[in-house]
């Protein structure tokens, strides 16, 4: 049995420890710390949401049933809170709920604490951002972590900030890297075995992706693991001294020359953790530069799932979803743990599912990374015809790789040959997290159908400058829809049902024991779908596009649903012809909470 650790309170200043009194509810009530037990039980403790993913495995499933296929028609707003000001832009945060408070981050590195019953603002923190930040894909933030008496989130200038969750006062602040080199931090941190686990953003600037473990009470590093082959990992002693912890992979085994030194592979989404196998799962982003002709080889460990031993900080296994990526098919999407019975042997399989940007849905044995299945979840995939399940390698279509800009590759020295390829680099699925229901055995995947013209250009690395070497224009594949919520059977590899949407889907999904699937649309709707049939049962207009994942919890026997609303993100910035199709959508910034109407 895994030992349950209590937060290391000795690291907090005595004056902060004395401030642990709630300002809401009954006067003088003792504030509740968040423990490792709270984190590990988040998937089943329905009175809280203290992880990004509604559980360490990231299934985004709640067993709550009061809001169900029969009652959802009576769902009405309980309250709404505006983030205010002119700092609207894209809102992708998943709120956390604990001890009578909601903690929700917002664009431009802000965080709010709200009374979960009324929506009243308890405190807010606005991070002072310097000039010259370089976020790739809007000024978004995807959420916070909560542990002990702290709430911790990342900022666009590549810092981690820990605040007293009851007062909003800063307890510690740590810089993860130099924002002037292109680093930023947008993902929600996670707590694993009493450690704060984070990645980084900035793959388009030639940064080096890595996974860090820190003491959540102080911010000090415990270990760090780069995910570009050739870089050294480190662990840290009690005095903060760095001790070498093994090179990632083998230098120059899959990278030419010195390109591994600026290899990208940003870890820009949240990690997940499976205590059953004691592994952290993290997706890695695109290799840098995008121009694949400059970097022959597989370019490990980019566009991969890496499984890291939390006790050592070493990679236990990896699976590369797109070797030698030439389309920005970022492999950073979430790897979600689930179990199923093998149809042939009847044995229970400890698996993980991943709906990748490259258009394939992958099922891997999560104990060792072995590929079990790979099948399309979108209608058109041009870069590969499938995967060889024996070797775990794709069956590539090299004619779909954009050409080299150099003469021997068919280019004129300025631009290589253009190809049209689907999916587009924004992916069959992007940052929006899917959900898995152990009740139905299905994944609910927010998918998009689009392609792109893409070509390569010469490029060289310059610190703090975009490092692409490619140009592109994204185009819809269909006149009547781009987005589609799809119910995917990971065992049979079939799509059970789909719900089409005119605009791209860019928000996450929630599944519940009430046989419901909740998701949002850029057109502003939060929708409830029958998990078994795909029939729409309820919708509500939030006033701006929903590009964030919903959550649910219960309080005094009453079930609540919440979602953040605010259009923005990568689509209007990078979307080409698709962006023109959704340019009528309005920005916003608010969180909505719903409950059943009492007659």
Give the pLDDT confidence of 95-114 residue by residue, as tens digits. Answer: 999 999 999 999 999 999 99
Q: What is the pLDDT of residue 546?
A: 97
- Give the integer Cα–Cα distance in Å for 391 and 550: 38
pTM: 0.94
Q: What is the pLDDT of residue 8?
A: 41
Dihedrals phi, psi of 410, to nearest 5 degrees: 95, 0
- Give the integer Cα–Cα distance in Å for 55 and 511: 13
Establish how many alpha carbons lie within 13 A of residue 193's alpha carbon, considering only the half-sphere containing its beta carbon: 17
Closest CA to 9 of 167, 168, 149, 199: 149
In the predicted structure, residue 438 carries a pLDDT above the cut 90? yes
8 A C-beta contact, residue 571 and residue 564: no
Q: Band of the pLDDT at 78, cuts 50, 70, 90?
A: very high
Q: What is the pLDDT of residue 27?
A: 37
Q: What is the pLDDT of residue 29?
A: 58
Question: Which of 3.30.565.10, 2.140.10.10, 3.40.50.1220, 3.20.20.70 is the CATH number of 9-596?
Answer: 2.140.10.10
Bridge partners of 243, per DSSP, are 235
Strand order in the sheet with 145-147: 145-147, 150-154, 159-164, 170-175
Q: Where are the domains of the chain?
A: 9-596
Q: What is the mean pLDDT of residues 378-407?
A: 95
Closest CA to 572 of 526, 513, 504: 504
Q: What is the pLDDT of residue 4?
A: 37
Q: What is the pLDDT of residue 299?
A: 98
In the predicted structure, residue 267 carries a pLDDT above the cut 70? yes
Q: What is the pLDDT of residue 414?
A: 87
Of residues 328, 330, 356, 515, which has the active-site annotation? 328
Establish how many alpha carbons lie within 13 A of residue 73's alpha carbon, considering only the half-sphere containing its beta carbon: 5
What's the Cα-to-Cα distance from 195 to each of 189, 211, 214, 404, rounded to whole Å?
Answer: 10, 12, 6, 44
DSSP E strand boundaries for 366-502: 371-376, 384-388, 393-396, 419-421, 435-437, 442-448, 450-456, 470-476, 483-489, 494-501
What's the Cα-to-Cα distance from 70 to each of 517, 534, 550, rounded to whole Å?
Answer: 13, 15, 20
The percent of residues in the chain predicted with pLDDT above 70, rounded, is 94
In the predicted structure, residue 577 carries a pLDDT above the cut 90? no
328 counts as catalytic:
yes
Q: What is the pLDDT of residue 371?
A: 98
């Amino acid at each position: 049995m895994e030992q349950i650790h209590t937060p290391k309170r000795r690291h907090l200043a005595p004056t902060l420890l004395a401030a642990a009194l709630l300002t809401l509810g009954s006067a003088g009530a003792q504030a509740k710390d968040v423990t490792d037990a709270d984190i590990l039980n988040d998937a089943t403790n329905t009175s809280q949401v203290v992880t990004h993913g509604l559980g360490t495995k990231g299934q985004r499933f709640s067993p709550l049933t009061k809001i169900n296929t029969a009652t959802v028609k009576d769902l009405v707003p309980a309250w709404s809170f505006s983030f205010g000001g002119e700092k609207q832009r894209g809102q992708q945060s998943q709120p956390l709920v604990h001890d009578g408070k909601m903690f929700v981050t917002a664009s431009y590195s802000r965080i709010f604490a709200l009374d979960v019953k009324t929506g009243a603002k308890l405190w807010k923190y606005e991070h002072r951002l310097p000039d010259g930040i370089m976020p790739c894909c809007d000024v978004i933030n995807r959420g916070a972590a909560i542990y002990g008496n702290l709430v911790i989130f990342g900022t666009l200038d590549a810092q981690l900030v820990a605040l007293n969750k009851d007062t909003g006062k800063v307890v510690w602040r740590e810089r993860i890297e130099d924002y002037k080199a292109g680093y930023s931090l947008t993902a929600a941190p996670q707590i694993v075995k009493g450690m704060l686990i984070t990645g980084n953003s900035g793959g388009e600037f030639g940064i080096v992706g890595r996974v860090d473990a820190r003491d959540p009470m102080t911010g000090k590093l415990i270990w760090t693991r780069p995910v570009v082959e050739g870089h050294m990992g480190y662990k840290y002693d009690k005095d903060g001294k760095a001790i070498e912890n093994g090179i990632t992979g083998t230098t120059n085994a899959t990278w030419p020359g010195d390109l591994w030194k600026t290899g990208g592979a940003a870890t820009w989404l949240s990690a997940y953790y499976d205590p059953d196998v004691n592994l952290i799962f993290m997706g890695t982003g695109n290799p840098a530069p995008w121009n694949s002709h400059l970097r022959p080889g597989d370019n490990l460990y980019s566009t991969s799932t890496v499984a890291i031993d939390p006790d050592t900080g070493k990679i236990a296994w990896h699976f590369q979803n797109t070797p030698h990526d030439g389309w920005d098919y970022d492999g950073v999407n979430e790897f979600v743990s689930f179990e199923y019975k093998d149809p042939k042997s009847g044995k229970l399989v400890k698996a993980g599912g991943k709906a990748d940007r490259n258009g394939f849905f992958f099922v891997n044995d999560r104990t060792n990374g072995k590929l079990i299945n790979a099948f399309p979840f979108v209608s058109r995939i041009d870069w590969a015809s499938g995967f060889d399940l024996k070797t775990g390698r794709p069956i590539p279509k090299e004619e779909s790789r954009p050409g080299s800009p150099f003469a021997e590759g068919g280019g004129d020295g300025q631009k290589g040959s253009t190809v049209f390829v689907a999916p587009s680099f924004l992916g069959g699925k992007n940052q929006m997290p899917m959900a898995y229901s152990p009740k139905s055995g299905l994944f609910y995947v927010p998918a998009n159908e689009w392609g792109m013209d893409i070509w390569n250009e010469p490029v060289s690395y310059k610190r703090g400058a975009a490092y692409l070497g490619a140009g592109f224009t994204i185009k819809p594949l269909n006149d009547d829809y781009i987005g589609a919520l799809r119910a995917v059977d990971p065992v049979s590899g079939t799509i059970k049902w789909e719900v089409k949407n005119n605009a791209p889907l860019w928000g996450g999904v929630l599944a519940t024991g009430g046989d419901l699937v909740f998701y949002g649309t850029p057109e502003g709707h939060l929708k409830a779908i029958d998990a078994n049939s795909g029939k729409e049962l309820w919708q509500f207009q939030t006033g701006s596009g929903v590009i964030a994942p919903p959550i649910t919890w219960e309080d005094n026997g009453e079930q609540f649903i919440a979602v953040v609303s605010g259009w923005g993100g990568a689509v209007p910035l990078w979307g080409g012809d698709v962006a023109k199709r959704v340019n009528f959508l309005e920005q916003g910034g608010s969180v909505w909470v719903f409950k059943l109407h009492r007659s």
